[in-house]
Chain A
Amino acid sequence: MVTETLKHREAGLTDEEVKEMYWTMVLARTVDERMWLLNRAGKIPFVISCQGQEGAQAGAAFAFDRTKDYFAPYYRDLCLMLACGHTARTELLAAFGKAEDPNSGGRQMPGHYGDRSRRILTGSSPVSTQIPHAVGMALAARMRNEDAVAYVSFGEGSSNQGDFHEAANFAGVHRLPVIFFCENNKYAISVPERKQLACKDVAERAAGYGFEGVVVDGMDPIEVYRVVKRAVDKARAGGGPTLVEAKTYRLVPHSSDDDDRSYRTREEVAEAKKGDSIVRMKTYLLASGLLTEEENAALVARAKVEVDEATRYAENAPYAAEETLMLHVYAEEGAARGHETVH
C-alpha cells in the first residue's frame, strides 16, 4: 500500500485536505439520505440526489480556489456546495423551502444552488443553460485581468443540448478559463448512456471545439482532483478550457418522483454500489493510516449530529412571508445588492 499511501500527496493534497474531502463526502451523503427520509415521511416535497457522485464533486471542488473562482453548479452538486462553504443547515433550509435558504430564499426547488457571496451563480431547472453562463463569467474574469477560473458542471444528458455545444465553442474560440465538468452518471432520468450519446465519451466532444477532453474515474476523488487541478492550473495560466468527464453512477432514482426499478435492475445498482467513492475513500484513508475505524465512527456520528441539528433548525424555521411574493422581480429602489460582493 505504499504507493497508494502517497497518492493524495502526489496529487498535491495535504493529509488535512484529503481528510476534509472525505468529511465533505460523508456529510453530503448524510444530508442527502436525510432528505429522502424527510421526503418519504411527507415532510419535504422533493429531493434530487448527489448519491454516487460525491467523490467526483469533492475531487473537483478541492481543485479550485474557492476564495476567488466562479461556480455554475448543476442540481446534483450538493457535495460541491458543501465544499464551497454551504452547510447541512443551509441545504436543509432549502429542502424545506424556508426563507433563510441562501440559495433562493425558498423560491426554488431544492438542488437549485446559488450564493453570490461565494461566487456560486444561481441556477435553474432547464439543463445546460448554466454552461454559457460559466463561459460568460470566465469572459468577465478575462476582461478584468482577474486570476479566476470558472467551474461548470452538468450531466452527460445535458451535453446533448445546444447550450453545451454553443458554450464550448465560444470558450474554445476565446480560450477562456473555464472547466467543463461532466458528471456522467449513466442515465438521463431513464435514458441510458447508449441511447444518449453516439460517441463513446462525452470528453471526445471537446476536440470539436479545439480543446482538451479528459476522462477520469469519477469514483476516485483523488484522481478527479489530480485531473481537474491540472486543468485549473492550465486555465489559470492562459491555456484555455478543458472538458473533464467524470464517470460516475447515480445510486438512487433521478428524483423523489422517479422509480428507477422501471428502467434498471437491482443487480446493476448493487454492483455500482461496490464502487461507491465514499467506501473507496474510507478504505484509502484507513490504509494510509490517516483514519482509524474509531475515528471514522466518530466522523459519521458527527455528520449525523450536524444533520439532526440542521433538520431541527430547518423544520422550525419560518417560510417566506406572503408579502414577499412580489419582491425582486426588478431592482427595488435602493434595494439592489450591487456588483460589490462578487469582486
Chain B
Amino acid sequence: MKQYIEAIHDALFEEMGRDERVFVMGEDVGVRGGVFRVTTGLIEQFGESRVIDTPLAESAIVGVAIGAAAAGMVPVAEIQFADFILPAVNQIISEAAKMRYRSNNDWHCPLVIRAPYGGGIHGGLYHSQSMEALFTHVPGLKIATPSTPRDAKGMLLAAIRDPDPVLFFEHKKLYRLVKEDVPEAEEVVPLGKAAVRRQGDDITVISYGYTLHLVLEAAEQLAAEGISTEVLDLRTLRPLDEAAILEAARKTGKVLIVHEDNKICGVGAEVSALIAEQALFDLDAPIRRLAGPEVPAMPFSPTLEKAYMLSTERITAEMRKLAKF
C-alpha cells in the first residue's frame, strides 16, 4: 500500500534511475527533501547536481528548466505551492507552451512542472488555491491532475516521458489521505485518458482530484438509497478525454460536474459545454455543476474554510436532486 505522496516520490526516483537526463529542481527539494517530503532521499541517491536546491525565484525555476529541456535534459521543476506559480506564468504560457509551435517544430520543451494545489489543509488564501483552469486554457500545455496513488505514479512517469510541457497538479490533501496498492512493475498511465471509477445507470458525476473521493463516498451512500452512479475521473484536464466524457454523459443522461476550483470559466464549464454541444439530445436533465464559491481564495479560519470546501453531504444532496429530476 502506498500513499499518493510516496507514489510521486517513487516515480521521480525510478525515472531518475532510468534516464540520466531527468533531474529535479526547485526550492527546498534537495537537502530538505521538499516541504512536503516528496523528494526525500533523492539528493542522497543522485547528488546535488541532479537534485537542485534553487534560489527562491519561480520564474527562474521554470525558465532555467525550459532552457535545460530545450538543450536536451528532462527537468522536473517544483513550484512549492501552486499559489506561487504566478511569477512563472509568463515562462509557462509565453515560452514553454509555444516553443514547439513558434519554432515550427524545430525546438520543443520536455518539461514537467509539479505543483501542489488545493485546500482543506488550513493553508489560508495563498496555500490552498486551485490554479488548474488558468493553464487548461492554453494550447501547448498538458494538465495532469491525478487523484489516486497509482495514477499519481503512472501519470508522472508519462509526464516525464512526454515530449511536451506538462503541468502536474498534486492535491495536497491527497498526499497522505489515500492509499492503494501500486504495482511494483512499471505502469505508465497515459495522459489524456479519463477513468471510470464507478459504474452506474442513474446519474453521471464527473470530477477530478480531491473532490473525486468525496464523489465516490457520496455515490456509495446513494447506492444504499437505490441510486446508481457512474463516476468519471477526468485525470487529465488538457487534453480532455472527450470521448469518455460523452460516453459517460450519454450512459445516464444526467450529469453533475464537481470540482473544488471556482465555477466561472472552470473546468466544469468546458466539460458541460462539450456535452451540450455534442450530446444535448441524449440528456434527461440540465447539466449541473457544483464547485467552489466565487471568492478570491480560501480563508484561513476553520469555519470559513469548511464553508468553502465541498463535502460529501453537499455532493450527496446535489446528486440526489439530479437523480430525482
Contact = CB atoms under 8 A, between A and B. Distances in A.
A126 B90 CA distance: 8
Contacts of A72: 67
B169 interface: no
Interface string B43-67: 0000001100011010110111111
- Residue among B55, B139, B140 with most chain A CB within 10 A: B55
Contact of A329 (B75, B87, B100): B100
Given A121-B67, A126-B90, A136-B64, A162 B59 contact: yes
A25 to B, nearest CB: 27
A129 interface: yes
Given A329-B140, A342-B72, A116 B67 contact: no
A70 B95 contact: no
Interface string A316-343: 0000000000011111000111110011
A170 interface: yes
Interface string B75-114: 1000000000001001100110011111111111000000
A166 B164 CA distance: 24
- Residue among A129, A143, A327 with most chain B CB within 10 A: A143
Given A129-B63, A129-B90, A140-B72, A331 B102 contact: no
Given A132-B59, A162-B59, A339 B72 contact: yes
A132 B69 CA distance: 12
Interface in B15-62: 23, 49-50, 54-55, 57, 59-60, 62
Contacts of A331: 100, 108, 163-164
Interface in B98-135: 98-108
Given A116-B103, A138-B67, 8 more contacts: A104-B104, A121-B70, A125-B94, A132-B66, A133-B63, A133-B70, A328-B104, A331-B163
Interface of A: 70, 72, 102-105, 107-108, 112, 114-116, 121-122, 124-126, 129, 131-144, 150, 162-163, 166-167, 169-170, 173, 327-331, 335-339, 342-343
Interface of B: 23, 49-50, 54-55, 57, 59-60, 62-73, 75, 87, 90-91, 94-95, 98-108, 139-140, 142, 163-164
